[in-house]
Amino acid sequence: MVRARSLTLLFFAAIAACLPLSAPVDAGVLRCDSKTMSRRDYDFMKSTASKAARGHTIDWRSLRTCMNPGRGRVWMDAIEEPQADGSVHAPAISCERDHSPWKCEVEPIRLFRLSVPYNGREQPFVVQVPMDLEVEDIRVLTARSFEMAQRLTWKESCAVNSHGSPSDWDKYAEEGLREFFAPRDEPIWGWIQQEDDFTSFSIGLDISLNFSQAEKKASDKAFKCWERNLVIS
Protein backbone atom coordinates (compact mmCIF):
# COMPACT_ATOMS: atom_id res chain seq x y z
CA MET A 1 0.00 0.00 0.00
CA VAL A 2 1.35 3.42 -0.93
CA ARG A 3 1.20 6.02 1.83
CA ALA A 4 0.03 9.43 0.65
CA ARG A 5 1.71 12.56 1.94
CA SER A 6 0.16 15.97 2.13
CA LEU A 7 1.92 18.93 0.54
CA THR A 8 1.62 20.72 3.85
CA LEU A 9 4.45 18.59 5.24
CA LEU A 10 6.97 19.46 2.61
CA PHE A 11 9.48 22.28 2.55
CA PHE A 12 9.84 21.92 -1.20
CA ALA A 13 6.13 22.74 -1.59
CA ALA A 14 6.14 25.56 0.92
CA ILE A 15 4.21 27.88 -1.33
CA ALA A 16 1.51 25.32 -2.02
CA ALA A 17 1.41 24.46 1.67
CA CYS A 18 0.56 28.03 2.63
CA LEU A 19 -2.42 28.54 0.34
CA PRO A 20 -5.44 30.02 2.09
CA LEU A 21 -8.53 27.86 1.74
CA SER A 22 -10.37 30.83 0.26
CA ALA A 23 -7.77 31.51 -2.45
CA PRO A 24 -8.99 31.12 -6.05
CA VAL A 25 -7.86 27.72 -7.29
CA ASP A 26 -8.03 26.29 -10.81
CA ALA A 27 -7.49 22.54 -11.17
CA GLY A 28 -5.57 22.42 -7.89
CA VAL A 29 -3.26 25.32 -8.82
CA LEU A 30 -3.40 28.70 -7.12
CA ARG A 31 -4.62 31.35 -9.54
CA CYS A 32 -2.83 34.68 -9.43
CA ASP A 33 -4.52 37.54 -11.24
CA SER A 34 -1.48 39.69 -10.57
CA LYS A 35 2.03 39.28 -9.23
CA THR A 36 2.33 42.92 -8.31
CA MET A 37 0.79 44.78 -5.38
CA SER A 38 -0.18 48.33 -4.63
CA ARG A 39 2.05 50.58 -2.54
CA ARG A 40 -0.65 50.63 0.16
CA ASP A 41 -0.80 46.82 0.28
CA TYR A 42 2.98 46.59 0.28
CA ASP A 43 3.40 49.07 3.14
CA PHE A 44 0.79 47.35 5.34
CA MET A 45 2.18 43.89 4.53
CA LYS A 46 5.78 44.96 5.19
CA SER A 47 4.88 46.43 8.58
CA THR A 48 2.97 43.28 9.60
CA ALA A 49 5.69 40.93 8.35
CA SER A 50 8.42 42.87 10.15
CA LYS A 51 6.54 42.58 13.43
CA ALA A 52 5.88 38.86 12.96
CA ALA A 53 9.53 38.18 12.07
CA ARG A 54 11.00 40.27 14.87
CA GLY A 55 14.47 38.90 15.68
CA HIS A 56 15.05 37.81 12.07
CA THR A 57 16.19 39.79 9.03
CA ILE A 58 13.82 39.49 6.08
CA ASP A 59 15.35 39.26 2.63
CA TRP A 60 12.90 41.50 0.80
CA ARG A 61 14.45 40.55 -2.53
CA SER A 62 12.95 37.08 -2.05
CA LEU A 63 9.37 38.44 -2.03
CA ARG A 64 6.91 36.39 -4.13
CA THR A 65 3.39 37.73 -4.57
CA CYS A 66 0.04 36.34 -5.65
CA MET A 67 -2.75 38.90 -5.73
CA ASN A 68 -6.46 38.60 -6.52
CA PRO A 69 -9.31 41.10 -6.03
CA GLY A 70 -9.58 41.73 -2.30
CA ARG A 71 -7.13 38.96 -1.52
CA GLY A 72 -3.41 38.46 -1.49
CA ARG A 73 -0.71 36.03 -0.51
CA VAL A 74 3.03 36.67 -0.29
CA TRP A 75 6.05 34.61 0.68
CA MET A 76 9.55 35.66 1.63
CA ASP A 77 12.66 34.27 3.25
CA ALA A 78 14.68 35.44 6.20
CA ILE A 79 18.42 35.77 5.77
CA GLU A 80 20.09 32.54 6.86
CA GLU A 81 21.27 32.43 10.46
CA PRO A 82 24.40 30.24 10.90
CA GLN A 83 24.42 28.05 14.01
CA ALA A 84 27.33 26.81 16.08
CA ASP A 85 26.74 23.19 15.01
CA GLY A 86 27.16 24.01 11.30
CA SER A 87 23.46 24.09 10.46
CA VAL A 88 21.60 27.23 9.47
CA HIS A 89 18.20 28.51 10.48
CA ALA A 90 16.32 29.84 7.44
CA PRO A 91 12.89 30.99 8.59
CA ALA A 92 10.17 31.34 5.95
CA ILE A 93 7.56 34.08 6.25
CA SER A 94 4.11 33.92 4.69
CA CYS A 95 1.43 36.63 4.76
CA GLU A 96 -2.16 36.68 3.57
CA ARG A 97 -5.01 39.13 3.22
CA ASP A 98 -8.49 37.76 2.61
CA HIS A 99 -10.82 40.77 2.50
CA SER A 100 -9.17 41.68 5.80
CA PRO A 101 -5.92 43.19 7.16
CA TRP A 102 -2.65 41.39 6.43
CA LYS A 103 -1.68 38.50 8.74
CA CYS A 104 1.80 36.96 8.77
CA GLU A 105 3.35 33.77 10.15
CA VAL A 106 6.95 32.61 10.53
CA GLU A 107 7.84 28.97 9.84
CA PRO A 108 11.08 27.79 11.50
CA ILE A 109 13.31 25.93 9.05
CA ARG A 110 16.68 24.35 9.75
CA LEU A 111 19.02 23.37 6.91
CA PHE A 112 22.24 21.40 6.89
CA ARG A 113 24.71 21.32 3.99
CA LEU A 114 27.06 18.36 3.68
CA SER A 115 28.85 16.13 1.20
CA VAL A 116 28.73 12.34 1.02
CA PRO A 117 31.65 10.35 -0.48
CA TYR A 118 30.58 8.09 -3.35
CA ASN A 119 32.69 6.31 -6.00
CA GLY A 120 35.69 8.57 -5.46
CA ARG A 121 33.71 11.81 -5.56
CA GLU A 122 31.70 13.99 -3.20
CA GLN A 123 27.94 14.30 -3.60
CA PRO A 124 26.69 17.57 -2.08
CA PHE A 125 23.39 17.64 -0.18
CA VAL A 126 21.18 20.34 1.31
CA VAL A 127 18.84 18.76 3.86
CA GLN A 128 15.97 20.23 5.81
CA VAL A 129 16.08 18.66 9.27
CA PRO A 130 14.17 18.72 12.57
CA MET A 131 15.22 21.58 14.82
CA ASP A 132 16.58 19.23 17.51
CA LEU A 133 18.24 16.50 15.41
CA GLU A 134 21.93 15.96 16.19
CA VAL A 135 24.40 16.81 13.41
CA GLU A 136 26.02 13.37 13.54
CA ASP A 137 22.62 11.74 13.02
CA ILE A 138 22.00 14.03 10.02
CA ARG A 139 25.30 12.98 8.46
CA VAL A 140 24.76 9.28 9.10
CA LEU A 141 21.17 9.19 7.89
CA THR A 142 21.99 11.13 4.71
CA ALA A 143 24.97 8.88 3.89
CA ARG A 144 23.03 5.68 4.65
CA SER A 145 20.08 6.76 2.51
CA PHE A 146 22.23 7.77 -0.46
CA GLU A 147 24.26 4.57 -0.38
CA MET A 148 21.21 2.32 0.04
CA ALA A 149 19.25 4.05 -2.74
CA GLN A 150 21.88 2.95 -5.28
CA ARG A 151 21.13 -0.73 -4.68
CA LEU A 152 17.52 -0.97 -3.49
CA THR A 153 14.95 -2.54 -5.83
CA TRP A 154 11.18 -2.83 -6.01
CA LYS A 155 11.42 -5.86 -3.71
CA GLU A 156 12.24 -3.57 -0.74
CA SER A 157 9.44 -1.14 -1.57
CA CYS A 158 6.73 -0.45 1.01
CA ALA A 159 4.20 -1.09 -1.77
CA VAL A 160 5.61 -4.44 -2.93
CA ASN A 161 2.84 -6.72 -4.21
CA SER A 162 2.20 -10.20 -2.89
CA HIS A 163 2.56 -12.23 -6.10
CA GLY A 164 6.30 -11.80 -6.37
CA SER A 165 6.66 -9.97 -9.68
CA PRO A 166 6.90 -6.20 -10.23
CA SER A 167 3.74 -4.32 -11.12
CA ASP A 168 3.73 -1.29 -13.39
CA TRP A 169 3.73 0.88 -10.26
CA ASP A 170 6.74 -1.03 -8.88
CA LYS A 171 8.67 -0.36 -12.09
CA TYR A 172 7.66 3.30 -12.10
CA ALA A 173 8.64 3.70 -8.46
CA GLU A 174 12.04 2.07 -8.97
CA GLU A 175 12.76 4.35 -11.93
CA GLY A 176 12.01 7.30 -9.65
CA LEU A 177 14.29 5.97 -6.95
CA ARG A 178 17.20 5.80 -9.41
CA GLU A 179 16.41 9.22 -10.87
CA PHE A 180 16.04 11.21 -7.67
CA PHE A 181 19.06 9.67 -5.91
CA ALA A 182 21.28 9.73 -8.99
CA PRO A 183 24.73 11.29 -8.33
CA ARG A 184 25.07 14.76 -9.84
CA ASP A 185 27.27 17.85 -9.70
CA GLU A 186 24.65 20.08 -8.07
CA PRO A 187 23.34 19.50 -4.52
CA ILE A 188 20.56 17.02 -3.91
CA TRP A 189 17.81 18.60 -1.80
CA GLY A 190 16.39 16.30 0.86
CA TRP A 191 14.54 16.40 4.13
CA ILE A 192 14.41 14.31 7.26
CA GLN A 193 11.14 13.80 9.09
CA GLN A 194 10.56 12.08 12.41
CA GLU A 195 7.17 10.45 13.01
CA ASP A 196 5.96 8.45 15.99
CA ASP A 197 6.81 5.11 14.39
CA PHE A 198 9.46 5.88 11.77
CA THR A 199 12.14 8.29 10.57
CA SER A 200 12.24 9.10 6.86
CA PHE A 201 14.78 10.59 4.46
CA SER A 202 13.05 12.04 1.42
CA ILE A 203 13.94 13.68 -1.87
CA GLY A 204 11.40 16.38 -2.61
CA LEU A 205 7.83 15.20 -2.92
CA ASP A 206 8.75 11.90 -4.46
CA ILE A 207 10.98 9.31 -2.82
CA SER A 208 11.29 8.37 0.86
CA LEU A 209 13.44 5.84 2.68
CA ASN A 210 11.88 4.81 5.99
CA PHE A 211 13.79 3.71 9.07
CA SER A 212 12.72 2.45 12.47
CA GLN A 213 12.16 5.10 15.13
CA ALA A 214 12.86 2.70 18.01
CA GLU A 215 16.64 3.18 17.95
CA LYS A 216 17.87 6.61 19.03
CA LYS A 217 21.11 6.79 17.01
CA ALA A 218 20.80 7.05 13.22
CA SER A 219 23.49 4.41 12.76
CA ASP A 220 21.38 1.90 14.72
CA LYS A 221 18.06 2.54 13.00
CA ALA A 222 16.76 -0.48 11.10
CA PHE A 223 15.77 0.10 7.48
CA LYS A 224 12.07 -0.64 6.92
CA CYS A 225 11.23 0.06 3.28
CA TRP A 226 11.23 2.78 0.63
CA GLU A 227 8.35 4.35 -1.24
CA ARG A 228 7.40 6.65 -4.07
CA ASN A 229 4.85 9.00 -2.58
CA LEU A 230 1.43 9.97 -3.78
CA VAL A 231 0.83 13.70 -3.36
CA ILE A 232 -2.49 15.11 -2.19
CA SER A 233 -2.85 18.76 -3.17
Contacts with 202 (C-beta within 8 Å, 6 or more apart), sequence order: 10, 190, 191, 192, 193, 208, 209, 229
- pLDDT tens-digit map of 92-106: 999 999 988 999 999
Q: What are 107-126's pLDDT values in tens digits?
A: 999 999 999 988 788 999 99
List the chain domain ranges: 32-108, 111-232
Going by pLDDT thresholds of 50, 70 and 90, the confidence category of residue 4 is very low
Cα–Cα distance measured from residue 108 to residue 89, given in angstroms and rounded to the nearest whole number: 7
- Exposure pattern of 105-144 as b/e (b: 16+ CB <10 Å)? ebeebbbbebebeeeeeebebebbbeeebeeebbbbbbbb
User: Are 144 and 118 in contact, with CB atoms under 8 Å apart?
Assistant: no
Mean pLDDT along residues 206-220: 89
110-124, 133-147, 154-168: which has the minimum mean pLDDT?
154-168
Q: pLDDT class for 165, splitting at 50, 70, 90?
A: confident
- 3-state secondary structure at position 93: strand
pLDDT recorded at residue 195? 86
Amino acid at 230: L
Q: Is the dihedral of CA 118, 122, 125, 129 positive or negative?
A: positive
- Give per-residue pLDDT as tens, 46-89: 999 999 999 999 999 999 999 998 899 999 999 999 999 999 99
